[in-house]
């Protein structure tokens, strides 16, 4: 391999994330635009079939949807979770995992995370269960599957549903089982930054019965195949069975997604190549802690979350990010814990220390650029620049 001389900093800003869109996706979208069928239709159906097949799941187990947030919302609604019910989830997630619990009128209950994977701690879940608990929403943080064995055991013991937030977890597996085929429902995100993108979009997976109910709710509560009502084989007649949502996926999104799904394995290979370079370089620096990958899982590597050993540095995480930004390297933080956001903090009187692991780890984490479009030179520059900040600010 060609030797790359590591540069410190960049002449131009390196974005934290960029979508990977090839000419093939562009052609597929244009073809769909010319086909005269631009919203939910044949491409969406094909994407659902190919996505289910990709997971090794049977037919009618995937529902194309407008976002992962919509998928989580519909899943809760399909399971009749509502006022008076409690749903347990993690503070280390994007706000929408929790806002959907509020949308259905249920009460979010947070349980702290495991320090290494930053996923739901099964012991904390167990301690949070009350007679009102109806469901658990584990988040496969950064692409590392949550401790599903223990979570499913707890769910079975207490008769709870498991809805997985797999926004980061395509493709991932837990003890040989594909994420998307484990819990009652699994919600994937195809947002612009995710491993597979349709700009906005998502996929909800589950049993054919669960998916049929979710499908109905995702499109106005109209009965089967109402999306066909303007086509030659469709009918004008439909019936509304429930006050549904407007969460359907468009064929423009599905056309994009079909090409992305075909390219996913290659894009993942590139992510793993970048991860290996990061891990190798950062493992040597005592000021840094590299992400954990347990032995019995397949990691989707959506995010590379580096943790700072703050006692070995003279600066905090915010300053570390500023120093990288001053050297033209974009980073982010995943996530500002739910219980620190004003709405939740005030509504539930949560204090930072109520979830001590989430709070402590939040203060020392940052996410580095990780996407297939990063060149080997970009990766070498990120490494050299992180090393430069460490070297300047070590104790």
Ligand X SMILES: *Cc1c(COP(=O)(O)O)cnc(C)c1O
Q: What are the catalytic residues?
A: 194
Q: How far apart are CA 56 and CA 51, in angstroms?
A: 9
Count CB neighbours of 333 within 10 A: 14
Q: How far apart are CA 279 and CA 284, in angstroms?
A: 9
Count CB neighbours of 346 within 10 A: 9
Select from 88-96, 116-124, 251-259, 276-284 the region that touches ligand X (CB under 6 A): 88-96
Taking CB under 6 A as the criterion, the residue among 40, 61, 67, 253 binding ligand X is 67
Name the residue nearer to ligand X (CB basis): 167 or 281.
167
Based on the shown chain and the rule CB under 6 A, indicate whether residue 165 belongs to the binding site for ligand X.
yes
Residue 45 CB, shortest distance to ligand X, in Å, is 20
The two tokens of residue 53 are 């097949």
Name the residue nearer to ligand X (CB basis): 154 or 203.
203
The two tokens of residue 34 are 């010319």
Residues in the chain: 395
Based on the shown chain and the rule CB under 6 A, indicate whether residue 247 belongs to the binding site for ligand X.
no
Based on the shown chain and the rule CB under 6 A, indicate whether residue 301 belongs to the binding site for ligand X.
no
Select from 94-102, 175-183, 228-236, 325-333 the region that touches ligand X (CB under 6 A): 94-102
Count CB neighbours of 241 within 10 A: 14
Based on the shown chain and the rule CB under 6 A, indicate whether residue 139 belongs to the binding site for ligand X.
yes
Cβ neighbours of residue 318 under 8 Å, at least 6 residues apart?
none
Residue 236 CB, shortest distance to ligand X, in Å, is 33
Strands 173-174 and 177-178: antiparallel
Based on the shown chain and the rule CB under 6 A, indicate whether residue 94 belongs to the binding site for ligand X.
yes
Based on the shown chain and the rule CB under 6 A, indicate whether residue 338 belongs to the binding site for ligand X.
no
Select from 4-12, 63-71, 126-134, 273-281 the region that touches ligand X (CB under 6 A): 63-71
Select from 93-101, 177-185, 248-256, 357-365 the region that touches ligand X (CB under 6 A): 93-101
Select from 91-99, 215-223, 250-258, 264-272 the region that touches ligand X (CB under 6 A): 91-99
Phi, psi of 108 (to 5 degrees): -75, 135
Taking CB under 6 A as the criterion, the residue among 61, 89, 93, 253 binding ligand X is 93
Name the residue nearer to ligand X (CB basis): 44 or 93.
93
Based on the shown chain and the rule CB under 6 A, indicate whether residue 189 belongs to the binding site for ligand X.
yes
Q: How far apart are CA 168 and CA 193, in angstroms?
A: 10
Taking CB under 6 A as the criterion, the residue among 174, 185, 191, 355 binding ligand X is 191
Q: How far apart are CA 264 and CA 178, in angstroms?
A: 15
Based on the shown chain and the rule CB under 6 A, indicate whether residue 68 belongs to the binding site for ligand X.
yes
Residue from 179, 188, 190 nearest 145 by CA: 179
The two tokens of residue 144 are 């590392």
CA torsion sign, 246 to 248 to 253 to 257?
Answer: positive
Based on the shown chain and the rule CB under 6 A, indicate whether residue 381 belongs to the binding site for ligand X.
no
Residue 179 CB, shortest distance to ligand X, in Å, is 13
List the alpha helices (DSSP H) in the chain: 23-34, 42-55, 68-78, 96-103, 122-128, 148-158, 208-218, 251-282, 317-326, 342-348, 356-362, 376-393
Taking CB under 6 A as the criterion, the residue among 44, 96, 107, 195 binding ligand X is 96
Name the residue nearer to ligand X (CB basis): 303 or 374.
303
The two tokens of residue 126 are 């167990």
Based on the shown chain and the rule CB under 6 A, indicate whether residue 90 belongs to the binding site for ligand X.
no
Based on the shown chain and the rule CB under 6 A, indicate whether residue 362 belongs to the binding site for ligand X.
no
Q: Which residue ranges make up the site for ligand X (CB under 6 A)?
A: 67-69, 93-94, 96-97, 139, 165, 167-168, 189, 191, 202
């Amino acid at each position: 391999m060609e030797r790359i001389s590591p540069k410190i900093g960049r002449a131009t800003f390196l974005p934290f994330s960029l979508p990977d869109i090839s000419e093939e996706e562009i052609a597929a979208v244009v073809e769909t635009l010319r086909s005269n069928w631009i919203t939910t239709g044949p491409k969406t159906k094909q994407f659902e079939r190919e996505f289910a097949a990709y997971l090794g799941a049977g037919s009618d187990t995937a529902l194309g949807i407008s976002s992962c947030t919509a998928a989580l919302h519909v899943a809760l609604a399909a399971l009749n979770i509502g006022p008076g019910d409690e749903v347990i989830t993690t503070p280390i997630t994007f706000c929408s995992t929790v806002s959907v619990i509020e949308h259905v009128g249920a009460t979010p209950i947070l349980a702290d995370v495991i320090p290494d994977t930053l996923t739901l701690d099964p012991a904390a879940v167990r301690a949070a269960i009350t007679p009102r608990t109806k469901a658990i929403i584990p988040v496969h943080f950064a692409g590392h599957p949550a401790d599903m064995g223990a979570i499913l055991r707890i769910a079975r013991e207490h008769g709870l549903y498991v809805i997985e937030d797999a926004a980061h977890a395509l493709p991932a597996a837990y003890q040989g089982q594909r994420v998307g085929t484990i819990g009652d429902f699994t919600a994937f995100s195809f947002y612009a930054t995710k491993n597979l993108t349709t700009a906005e979009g998502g996929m909800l997976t589950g049993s054919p019965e669960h998916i049929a109910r979710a499908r109905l709710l995702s499109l106005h509560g109209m009965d089967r195949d109402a999306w066909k009502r303007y086509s030659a084989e469709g009918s004008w007649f439909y019936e509304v069975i429930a006050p549904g949502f407007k969460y359907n996926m468009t064929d423009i999104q599905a056309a994009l997604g079909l090409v992305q799904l075909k390219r996913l394995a290659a894009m993942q290979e590139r992510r793993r190549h970048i991860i290996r370079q990061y891990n190798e370089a950062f493992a040597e620096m005592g000021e840094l802690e590299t992400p954990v990958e347990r032995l019995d899982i397949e990691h989707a590597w959506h995010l590379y979350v580096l943790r700072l050993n703050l006692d070995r540095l003279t600066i905090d995480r915010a300053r570390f990010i500023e120093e990288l930004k001053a050297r033209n390297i974009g980073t982010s933080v995943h996530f500002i814990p739910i219980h620190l956001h004003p709405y939740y903090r005030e509504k539930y009187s949560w204090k930072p220390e109520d979830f001590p692991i989430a709070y402590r780890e939040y203060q020392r984490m940052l996410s580095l650029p990780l996407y297939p479009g990063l060149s080997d030179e970009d990766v070498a520059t990120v490494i050299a620049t992180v090393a430069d900040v460490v070297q300047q600010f070590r104790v």
